[in-house]
Amino acid sequence: MLIRDLLSRTRPAISFEIFPPKPETPIETVFTTVAGLKELSPDFISVTYGAGGSSRDRTVEIASAVQNRWGLVALAHLTCMGSSPAEVEKVMEDLEGEGVCNVLAMRGDPRPEGGESHFHHASDLIRHIRRGHFRDFSLGAAAYPEGHPESASPEEDLVHLKEKVDAGADFLITQLFFDNEIFFRFMERIRSMGIAVPVMAGIMPVLNARQIGRIVSLCGASIPPRFARIMSRYEQTPEALAEAGMAYATEQIIDLLSWGADGIHLYTMNRPDVAKRIMESISTVRRTLNGGSPGN
Ligand code: FAD
């Protein structure tokens, strides 16, 4: 199923993000993750993309399994930095061959080795796909409620976000954030700019102290005082920190759903047990909002 069609009738939607295991790890490990996530009735599962050859192939293989082995809707991530149009088309062709017609189209991070790239921005990739054989795919794009770390200002980033939607993105998935107020202000701004596509709010449960440092340095998410207090209080007690991290994510989700978010995209970190705990905590909320069963 095309995600644009799914999102036109399923609000709020719930999606899970998984990543391919490292090349030296058997691919079956992630299939155990998918089996666990399927029990939670997600509306779709997204599979991240690494630019390297084996990682790229694994994204296609896992997205295909999500769809063909588990009967779920799959979204394959795709980045274009350093790739030629032919390379991008090969991945799209492989996806199409497996019946996966949903792609999260991104630029990707600049490669350490640098070099020229045919595509400079995600909007170039989206425009390219919309012009060619794969034009009927449902395409998503990445959005940054606090602005992309490279952009001069959040306002400038919003201009480029609009370019991605104008180029043909059907829906957006946001970078993770810990302060819902930032997301609410972001939504007001993009709606006032005429960006009308559904937006999935990205939520990551923090399970250990190491993760917080990595998140802040990679994506620059701001840490609200309430969250900082919880994290520093339980820093030395891993189990308490994980429990508090899941509770914080659950609270964020309930607040986002009450506000009327189009959907929640949970960064599962390949931990179905964590996703399960969070989904169980919101099962009645989800049923109430879906007017019946989860995933309805
Ligand atoms: P763009 O939209 O191209 O934006 C990149 C920067 O360029 C921004 O600062 C933007 O403001 C600026 N810009 C855009 N257009 C223009 C223009 N015309 N002129 C000047 N400046 C411009 N990475 C992976 O490698 N694999 C993944 O699977 C992956 N999944 C992700 C999933 C989500 C939900 C998110 C939020 C991010 C993900 N990323 C992934 C990370 C992403 O690749 C990086 O954040 C990357 O740096 C930017 O990609 P983009 O598609 O947002 O880029």
pLDDT band at 207 (very low <50, low <70, confident <90, very high): very high
Topology of the domain covering 3-289: TIM Barrel (3.20.20)
Cα–Cα distance measured from residue 192 to residue 79, given in angstroms and rounded to the nearest whole number: 28
Q: What is the mean pLDDT of residues 168-173?
A: 98
Q: What is the pLDDT of residue 67?
A: 98
Mean pLDDT of the chain: 94
Q: Is the CB of 49 under 6 A from ligand 1?
A: yes
Catalytic annotation, residues: 17
Beta carbons of 7 and 257 less than 8 angstroms apart: no
Nearest Cα residue to atom 21 of ligand 1: 160
Number of Cβ within a 10 Å radius of residue 55: 16
Q: What is the pLDDT of residue 209?
A: 85
Q: What is the mean pLDDT of residues 218-223?
A: 88
Q: Note the pLDDT tens digit of each residue in 134-151.
A: 999 999 999 999 999 999
For the chain, the domains span: 3-289
Q: Which of 150, 199, 191 is nearest to 171 (CA)?
A: 199
Q: Note the pLDDT tens digit of each residue in 274-289.
A: 999 999 999 999 989 8
Q: What is the pLDDT of residue 116?
A: 78
Please give the distance of CA 280 from its chain centroid, rounded to a whole number: 21
Q: What is the residue type of 296?
A: N
Beta carbons of 224 and 178 less than 8 angstroms apart: yes
CA–centroid distance, residue 151 to ligand 1 (Å)? 10
Q: What is the pLDDT of residue 117?
A: 85
Q: What is the mean pLDDT of residues 43-64?
A: 89
Runs of H (alpha helix) within 193-237: 209-219, 225-234
Give yes or no for residue 212 having a pLDDT over 90: no
CA–centroid distance, residue 107 to ligand 1 (Å)? 5
Q: Is the CB of 140 under 6 A from ligand 1?
A: no
Number of Cβ within a 10 Å radius of residue 185: 13
Give yes or no for residue 294 having a pLDDT over 90: no
Q: What is the pLDDT of residue 290?
A: 83
Owner of token pair 């497996």 = 98
Tokens of 19: 């990543």
For a mutational test of ligand 1's pocket, the pick from 56, 146, 148, i.e. the residue with the most ligand atoms closer than 8 A to its C-beta, is 148
Percent of the chain having pLDDT more than 70? 96
Q: Is the CB of 103 under 6 A from ligand 1?
A: no
Cα–Cα distance measured from residue 125 to residue 127, given in angstroms and rounded to the nearest whole number: 5
Q: What is the mean pLDDT of residues 116-122?
A: 91
Q: Is the CB of 173 under 6 A from ligand 1?
A: yes
Give yes or no for residue 54 having a pLDDT over 70: no
Q: Which backbone phi and psi does 200 adopt, to 5 degrees? A: -90, 125
Whole-number Cα distances in Å, 31 to 38, 261, 275, 278: 10, 29, 15, 20
Give yes or no for residue 55 having a pLDDT over 80: no
Give yes or no for residue 296 having a pLDDT over 60: no
What is the three-class DSSP state of 128? helix
Give yes or no for residue 86 having a pLDDT over 90: yes
pLDDT band at 213 (very low <50, low <70, confident <90, very high): confident
What is the three-class DSSP state of 182? helix
Percent of the chain having pLDDT more than 90? 84
Q: Which backbone phi and psi does 218 adopt, to 5 degrees? A: -80, -45
